[in-house]
Amino acid sequence: GAGVSQSPSNKVTEKGKDVELRCDPISGHTALYWYRQSLGQGLEFLIYFQGNSAPDKSGLPSDRFSAERTGGSVSTLTIQRTQQEDSAVYLCASSLAPRGGQETQYFGPGTRLLVL
């Protein structure tokens, strides 16, 4: 079956521009996660969606970052007024509804963002 898909695969933008990154989770997965992977750093949690519950936004680094999930499926991560330190790989993952926190997260291929 199809895995998690992300688009675009690569994005080059100029400092100060807004960017939108898209994630299509695995069909039937109600939980969706965004992470960021910077050069030399581990994966850093950004935001979590589960069904119709309020998202956990505790990992968003600044108010320039926002995300939404429409219809419980596709998600868009938006970065406003991009800065050079936003350059990283943005990874999306999805899982079945957490029950006791034991659900496996499956990752997409990522979007490589470069801010010039």
Given a contact cutoff of 8 angstroms between Cβ atoms, the answer to whether 113 and 86 are in contact is yes
User: In the complex with another protein, which residue's Cβ is closer, 14 or 104?
Assistant: 104
- 60: which 2 tokens? 């968003």
Q: What is the DSSP letter of 84?
A: G
Q: What is the DSSP letter of 17?
A: -
User: In the complex with another protein, which residue's Cβ is closer, 58 or 84?
Assistant: 58
Residues 19-38: x/- map of binding to another protein (CB under 8 A)? --------------x-x---
Given a contact cutoff of 8 angstroms between Cβ atoms, the answer to whether 65 and 90 are in contact is no
Residues 53-92: x/- map of binding to another protein (CB under 8 A)? ---x-xx-------------------------------x-
Quote the least distance from Cβ 49 to another protein, whole Å. 9
End-to-end CA distance of the chain: 37
User: In the complex with another protein, which residue's Cβ is closer, 84 or 102?
Assistant: 102
